[in-house]
């Protein structure tokens, strides 16, 4: 039975340290991060993982991480950049998901600790721990299916379809 809703959680790929005069917000991907973002985007496209909508943090490293996803999808995706995903906690991410339930497949491109906390909170604990025993590494993409769109008042437990990462 096909899922009613699919959530893709993408943590930005590995980034460089801030240069003198550069803010955390302006940090860019490093060379490894660029390569990992390209590979994970291609892996996702090969599996047919294409969201209807993308919610992406406005931070430079998240924008750079989502670029290969957009190219690999080869479609005009609905991409929305959100400042709140840069500074937000797990509840901010939950609110963003609940507010975009009209999309049947939603991708969130964001930061830790919120991405990791969300991943571990929406999956069965054993599944989450087995999939990511050392946390949620940079550049990791999870595809998670739900029987209904998760809402703030009615959280759902998801089913992990795939976890794509260069560190697994």
**How confident is the prediction along the chain (168 residues), in pLDDT tens digits per residue?**
567 999 999 999 999 887 888 899 999 999 999 999 999 999 999 999 999 999 999 999 999 999 999 998 877 889 999 999 999 999 999 999 999 989 999 999 999 999 999 999 999 999 999 999 999 999 999 999 999 888 877 778 999 999 999 875
Establish if 75 belongs to a structural domain.
yes
- What gap in Å lies between CA 100 and CA 40, rounded to an integer? 24
Establish if 2 belongs to a structural domain.
no
| pLDDT (0 to 100) of residue 2 | 67
For residue 58, the domain's CATH number is 3.40.50.1240
Establish if 129 belongs to a structural domain.
yes
- What gap in Å lies between CA 160 and CA 124, rounded to an integer? 9
- What gap in Å lies between CA 35 and CA 112, rounded to an integer? 20
Establish if 41 belongs to a structural domain.
yes
| pLDDT (0 to 100) of residue 140 | 98
Establish if 107 belongs to a structural domain.
yes
Edge to edge, the sheet with strand 159-164 lists 78-82, 53-57, 105-110, 5-11, 141-146, 159-164
* Entry pTM: 0.94
- Domain interval for residue 150: 7-164
Contacts of 91 (CB under 8 A, 6+ apart): none
Establish if 21 belongs to a structural domain.
yes
Domain count, the chain: 1
Sign of CA dihedral 65, 145, 152, 91: negative
Contacts of 122 (CB under 8 A, 6+ apart): 7, 144, 150, 155, 156, 157, 158
- What gap in Å lies between CA 110 and CA 102, rounded to an integer? 20
Which of 89, 27, 38 lies closest to 62, judged by CA?
27
Cα distances (angstroms) measured from residue 47 to each of 18, 55, 149, 161, 166: 34, 20, 22, 11, 16
Establish if 60 belongs to a structural domain.
yes
Which of 95, 116, 92 lies closest to 165, judged by CA?
116
């Amino acid at each position: 039975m096909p899922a009613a809703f699919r959530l893709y959680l993408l943590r930005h790929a590995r980034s460089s340290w801030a240069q003198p005069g550069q803010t955390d917000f302006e940090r860019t991907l490093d060379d490894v991060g660029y390569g990992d973002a390209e590979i994970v985007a291609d892996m996702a496209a090969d599996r047919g993982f294409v969201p209807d909508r993308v919610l992406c943090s406005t931070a430079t490293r998240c924008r750079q991480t989502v670029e290969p996803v957009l190219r690999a999808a080869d479609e005009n995706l609905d991409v929305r950049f959100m400042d709140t995903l840069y500074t937000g906690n797990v509840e901010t991410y939950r609110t963003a998901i609940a507010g975009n339930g009209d999309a049947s497949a939603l991708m969130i491109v964001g930061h830790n600790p919120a991405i990791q906390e969300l991943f571990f909170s929406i999956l069965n604990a054993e599944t989450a721990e087995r999939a990511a025993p050392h946390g949620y590494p940079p550049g990791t993409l999870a595809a998670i299916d739900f029987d209904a769109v998760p809402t703030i008042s009615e959280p759902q437990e998801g089913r992990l379809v795939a976890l794509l990462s260069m560190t697994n």
